Amino acid sequence: MDFAFSDEHRALRGMVRDFAESQIAPHAEAWDRDHHFPTDVVQAMGELGLFGITADEQWGGAGADFISLCIAIEELARIDQSMAITLEAGVGLGINPIHEFGTDDQKERWLPDLVAGRTLAGFGLTEPGAGSDAGATATRAELDGDEWVINGSKAFITNSGSEITSLVTITAKTGDNEISTIIVPSGTPGFIVEPPYRKMGWHASDTHGLVFEDCRVPKENLLGERGRGFHQFLATLDDGRIAIAAMAVGVLQACLDESVAYAKERESMGKPIGSYQAVAFKCADMQTMTEAARLLTYRAAWLKDQGKPFKQEAAMAKLYATEAAVTATREATQVFGGYGFVDETLVSRHYRDAKILEIGEGTSEVQRLVLSRGLGLPIS
């Protein structure tokens, strides 16, 4: 078994790391404090080719493998989870549904700008009363002549209200026991973007609730086959679980790096705190969790790239990596002591940001449900 990255993968990691450390790290704390979404930096990520990593060259992408996307997300997440989720959602939830299920006309209209990072797209799945039970979608879309008339609401939608958001793809009931996916361009009458949420973390990420009041879009905005929306978003979430796991790996690596460096320089009772087992063992545990999470994540990504089944592996990677990241941020904050409680420190920001990793793209409980069913257990 060969666990080595290719030369191309290593070059990509170096490029994204340099960008994150030079263009994001100096400003991330201020963006977090001010709840500022840095449009210019997001578009610079597009110019770097990050949004087009996995897209076909026909649409301006690089046509690279899924491992490449995970590497980019991991490196961004080391520095700032808000920018990492902007990329993850921009690709996995914005570009990929159109790339995978769209018509040629839809691809020609939307993909070039999305792939280049000139615009962003969101994916409206979660609703106030339909989170883990996504099949309980209450938003409705009725065909009236040549238009879909949409009524309903969505919650916690990333990349949905920025000044460069061009569309949101939503799920809606288009009939009894029928869920379909529809593209809704920004600015469409009846498409209301609510004020941004006041969140515990991810302060520099763009997140809104959405309301649709007799919102009309052309019937050609149906994405893929009518009634296949449930299948489409399940496939989208399987990919997203690997990508969120990659974010968690970046967080784990950051906690390890920050804790080791601090444990070497901070002294207590005349010795570096890293000389005490209470601190050193925390760092040892972080290293173990980081490597285990990375192996699970990139194995799942490799299976996807090979065209092999990966649903169970994606669930395992997402479950373990995100829960490990939450543990590591807590332990890293403990290593830093009082300084870890100060917002200016990276570990403090990661502590606040990490919790959502256990919730978004399928909660930990959902991952355990997926895994239990995969084992053939009669769980409901």
Give the pLDDT confidence of 155-213 residue by residue, as tens digits: 999 999 999 999 999 999 999 989 999 999 999 999 999 999 999 999 999 999 999 99
| Res. 380 pLDDT band, cuts 50 70 90 | confident
Whether the CB-CB separation of 247 and 74 falls below 8 Å is answered with yes
- Dihedral sign of CA atoms 106, 110, 114, 116 in order: positive
- The pLDDT value recorded for residue 254 is 98
230-374 is classed in which CATH architecture? Answer: Up-down Bundle (1.20)
Inform me whether the pLDDT recorded for 23 exceeds 70: yes
Distance of alpha carbon 132 from alpha carbon 177, whole angstroms: 17
Please tell me the predicted confidence (pLDDT) of residue 3: 75
Q: Which CATH superfamily is 7-119 part of?
A: Acyl-CoA dehydrogenase/oxidase, N-terminal domain (1.10.540.10)
Cα radius of gyration (the chain): 21
Question: Residue 1: pLDDT band by 50, 70, 90 thresholds?
Answer: low
* CB-count exposure of residue 147 (10 Å: 0-12, 13-18, 19+): middle
Predicted confidence at residue 136, as pLDDT, reads 87
Range in 105-119, 204-218, 223-237, 361-375 the model is least confident about: 223-237
Q: Where are the beta strands (DSSP E) in 45-175?
A: 120-124, 140-144, 147-158, 165-175
With CA atoms as reference, report the closest residue to 333 among 321, 346, 347, 345: 347
Q: Which long-range contacts (CB under 8 A, 24 or more apart) does 304-313 make?
A: 304/66, 304/239, 304/242, 305/65, 305/66, 305/67, 310/238, 310/242, 311/238, 311/370, 311/374, 312/370, 312/371, 312/374
Q: Which residues contact 301 (CB under 8 A, 6 or more apart)?
A: 65, 66, 67, 70, 242, 246
Q: Tell whether the model's pLDDT for residue 233 goes beyond 90.
A: no
For range 145-163, the mean pLDDT: 97
What number does CATH give the domain 121-227? 2.40.110.10
pLDDT at 16: 98
Measure the CA–CA gap between 168 and 89, rounded to whole angstroms.
11
Domain ranges of the chain: 7-119, 121-227, 230-374
Distance CA 279, CA 348 (A): 17
Percent of the chain residues past pLDDT 70, beyond the cut: 100
Residues that are catalytic: 361
**Rounded distance, CA 361 to CA 78, Å?**
20
pLDDT digits (tens, 9 = 90+) for 243-255: 999 999 999 999 9
Residue type, 109: R
The reported pTM is 0.96
Band of residue 278 on the pLDDT scale cut at 50, 70, 90: very high
Residue whose entry in the numeric block shows the structure tokens 């449900």:
369
User: Which pLDDT value is given to residue 4?
Assistant: 86
How far is Cα 206 from Cα 38, in angstroms, rounded to an integer?
10
What are 304-327's pLDDT values in tens digits?
999 999 999 999 999 999 999 999
Q: Any bridge partners for residue 34, and if so which?
A: none
CB 297 within 8 A of CB 317: yes
Mean per-residue pLDDT of the chain = 96
Tell me the pLDDT band of 134, cut-offs 50, 70 and 90: confident
- Report the alpha-carbon distance of residue 155 to residue 152 in Å, rounded: 11
Q: Are 144 and 191 in contact (CB under 8 A)?
A: no
- pLDDT tier, 117 (very low <50, low <70, confident <90, very high otherwise): very high
How far, in whole angstroms, is CA 296 from its chain's centroid? Answer: 17
Q: Which residues of 214-242 are buried (b: 16+ CB within 10 A; e: fewer)?
A: ebbbeeebbbbebebbbebbebbbbbbbb
Could you tell me the pLDDT band of residue 93, with boundaries at 50, 70 and 90? very high
Across the range 341-365, mean pLDDT stands at 95
> DSSP string of 236-269?
HHHHHHHHHHHHHHHHHHHHHHHHHHHHHH-EET
Q: At 200, list the tokens.
A: 């515990």
Burial level of 287, CB count in 10 A (0-12/13-18/19+)?
Answer: middle
Residue 333 has pLDDT above 90, yes or no: yes
Across 283-289, average pLDDT: 98
Per-residue pLDDT tens digits for 69-81: 999 999 999 999 9
- Lowest mean pLDDT: which of 40-44, 156-160, 233-237? 233-237
Query: Which tokens sit at 250?
Result: 């970046």
Comparing 343 with 154, the larger pLDDT belongs to 154
Q: Average pLDDT, stretch 140-149?
A: 97
